[in-house]
């Protein structure tokens, strides 16, 4: 029956355990898992590894959750020792494109369970992250070569899977031709009810009329090298040198926070740059960006498909950023924002100076960003992804019902000859929009 339809999710995120046994998890992750539960009629289980203690990675918005308070199950596992039998009860397994999970599609294939990978970081982006984090040139070369070798294994794993969900255009371009069921999506936490209205943007943009009012700039995210957080201070210093009136609000935390604070003080920027700390996403960050910011500054040195892009556009705020491949993809898809060459903070400042004397362009881009954001809300994105998963689960069930091995593409006869009870038992009671349309037998 459909109540027993099981969705297994294997995230890259590793959980931490508090001394009293609670799970320490980012609120964003829990929100996403809750949405899976809402849209999947059966049960949902996350198979997660425990993270070793570390001070080098800042996880924002982390909170404690007790197992009994979560609407989904968490099973602590080791991906290295995970068996095919442990996955055999799933209707579909949603795995992550990560070196520790390259074998998951093979495990699934061995027990007749469809596997779908979620991809985020392209090979180019992974090498950019290495370059940003690794100072030793020999170590940097070795890690880059290792990633190149891993990419071959990743491609083999994705080619063996029944589907791939690509977060952002970089991995979609890389993998869409090697998998039979690719899906492009853009990660976001923004629900339809908190997307800015045209009226809110119009009201906020009233301050742009007065050219004596400072431009209100913002950044939110981890204050780490790969996010280019240190370049924000360079941008601010150049803007001050150029005489551009501005206020820069930096929201987030990370291992660069203290050095950034020292540079703000030593550079005489305390009057125009403020570190805001970590703001609650829905209650603090979104209202602040929506009502008080004219332009978002994105210094990301690599092309990870940050949810920041869509969440900022949903606030009706355009983005100025480096030409990393993820932001370039968003900029082209949304037809909003401005890009400058990578690692050129002075060019970011110069573009801001140009916008300071052409403030009408900020309003045009602000209003244009809303249309794109409204078609990529949290709800719509998840509905698209769940439809994709359900169609793959149904197709696999139909394949097995007529004796076709997993991985063989169905033709229309499979839908005609599969027992109706098999298909009906897999269709959710309350989510009939997920019922795929069988191909015409003609």
Cα–Cα–Cα angle for 183, 186, 187, nearest 5°?
120
- Using CA atoms, how far apart are residues 207 and 165, in angstroms rounded to an integer? 41
pLDDT at 127 over 90: yes
As a whole number, mean pLDDT of residues 188-199 equals 92
Nearest to 326 by CA among 170, 165, 222, 189: 170
CB 238 within 8 A of CB 272: no
Strand pairing report for 246-251 and 319-322? unpaired
User: Quick one: which H or E segment has residue 8?
Assistant: strand 6-9
Residue 93 — φ and ψ, nearest 5°?
A: -110, 125
**Better-predicted residue by pLDDT, 412 or 132:** 132
User: Which conformational region is residue 174 in: left (phi greater than 0), alpha (psi within -120 to 50 degrees), or beta?
Assistant: alpha
Q: What is the pLDDT of residues 220-258, one digit of tens each?
A: 999 999 899 999 999 999 999 999 999 999 999 999 999
CB 215 within 8 A of CB 247: yes
pLDDT at 139 over 50: yes
Going 181 to 187 to 192 to 196, the CA torsion angle's sign is: negative
- Using CA atoms, how far apart are residues 236 and 242, in angstroms rounded to an integer? 10
For the ranges 109-118, 185-194, 293-302, which has the lowest average pLDDT?
185-194
**Better-predicted residue by pLDDT, 32 or 288:** 288
Q: What is the pLDDT of residues 306-335, one digit of tens each?
A: 889 999 999 999 999 999 999 999 999 999
Place of tokens 């019902």: 401
pLDDT at 421 over 50: no
In 67-128, beta strands by DSSP E: 73-76, 92-96, 115-119
- Using CA atoms, how far apart are residues 417 and 305, in angstroms rounded to an integer? 41
As a whole number, mean pLDDT of residues 159-165 equals 97
CB-facing half-sphere around the CA of 63: CA atoms within 13 A: 13
Summary count for the chain: helices (H), strands (E): 16, 16
DSSP β-bridge partners for residue 44: 7
Read off the pLDDT band of 376 (50, 70, 90).
Answer: very high
Predicted pLDDT of residue 166: 97
What count of residues does the chain have?
A: 442
pLDDT at 51 over 60: yes
pLDDT at 440 over 80: no
- Using CA atoms, how far apart are residues 278 and 61, in angstroms rounded to an integer? 7
CB-facing half-sphere around the CA of 350: CA atoms within 13 A: 7
CB 189 within 8 A of CB 135: no
The domains located in the chain, with CATH, are: 2-186+379-434 (3.40.50), 193-374 (3.40.50.2000)
As a whole number, mean pLDDT of residues 205-233 equals 92
Q: Please provide the average confidence, as pLDDT, over all residues in the chain.
A: 88
Read off the pLDDT band of 32 (50, 70, 90).
Answer: confident
DSSP 332-367: HHHT--EEE-TT-HHHHHHHHHHHHT-HHHHHHHHH
As a whole number, mean pLDDT of residues 107-121 equals 96
- Using CA atoms, how far apart are residues 395 and 413, in angstroms rounded to an integer? 12
- Using CA atoms, how far apart are residues 199 and 419, in angstroms rounded to an integer? 53
Q: Which structure tokens are listed for 110?
A: 């061995």
pLDDT at 410 over 90: no
User: Quick one: which H or E segment has residue 171?
Assistant: helix 169-175
pLDDT at 403 over 80: no
Going 247 to 327 to 379 to 31, the CA torsion angle's sign is: negative
């Amino acid at each position: 029956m459909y109540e027993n339809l099981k969705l297994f999710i294997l995230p890259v995120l590793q959980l931490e355990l508090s001394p009293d046994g609670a799970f320490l998890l980012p609120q964003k992750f829990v929100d996403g898992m809750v949405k899976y539960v809402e849209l999947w009629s059966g049960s949902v289980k996350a198979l997660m590894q425990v993270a070793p203690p570390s001070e080098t990675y800042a996880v924002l918005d982390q909170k404690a959750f007790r197992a009994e308070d979560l609407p989904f199950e968490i099973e602590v596992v080791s991906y290295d020792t995970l068996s095919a039998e442990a996955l055999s009860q799933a209707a579909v397994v949603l795995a992550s494109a990560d070196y520790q999970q390259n074998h998951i599609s093979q495990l699934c294939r061995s027990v007749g369970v469809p596997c779908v990978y979620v991809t985020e970081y392209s090979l180019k982006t992974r090498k950019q992250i290495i370059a940003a984090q690794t100072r030793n040139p020999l170590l940097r070369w070795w890690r880059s070569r290792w990633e190149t070798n891993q990419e071959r294994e990743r491609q083999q794993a994705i080619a063996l899977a029944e589907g791939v969900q690509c977060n952002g255009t970089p991995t979609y371009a890389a993998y869409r031709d090697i998998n039979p069921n690719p899906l492009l999506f853009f990660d976001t936490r923004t629900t339809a009810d908190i997307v800015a209205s045209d009226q809110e943007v119009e009201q906020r943009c009233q301050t742009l009329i007065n050219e004596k009012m400072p431009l209100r700039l913002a950044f939110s995210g981890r204050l780490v090298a790969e996010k280019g957080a240190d370049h924000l201070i360079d941008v601010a210093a150049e803007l001050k040198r150029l005489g551009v009136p501005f206020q820069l609000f930096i929201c987030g935390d990370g291992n660069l926070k203290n050095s950034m604070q020292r540079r703000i003080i030593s550079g005489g920027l305390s009057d125009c740059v403020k570190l805001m700390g970590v703001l609650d996403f829905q209650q603090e960050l979104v209202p602040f960006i929506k009502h008080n910011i004219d332009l978002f500054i994105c210094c990301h040195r690599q092309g990870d498909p940050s949810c920041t892009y869509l969440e900022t556009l949903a606030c009706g705020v355009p983005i100025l950023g480096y030409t990393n491949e993820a932001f370039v993809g968003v900029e082209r898809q949304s037809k909003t924002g401005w890009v400058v060459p990578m690692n050129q903070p002075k060019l970011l400042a110069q573009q801001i100076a140009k916008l300071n004397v052409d403030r009408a362009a900020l309003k045009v881009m602000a209003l244009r960003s809303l249309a794109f954001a409204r078609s990529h809300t949290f709800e719509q994105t998840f509905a698209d992804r769940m439809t994709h998963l359900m169609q793959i689960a149904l197709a696999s069930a139909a394949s097995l019902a007529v004796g076709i091995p997993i991985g063989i593409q169905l033709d229309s006869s499979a839908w005609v000859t599969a027992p109706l009870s098999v298909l009906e038992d897999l269709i959710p009671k309350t989510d009939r929009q997920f019922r795929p349309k069988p191909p015409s037998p003609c």
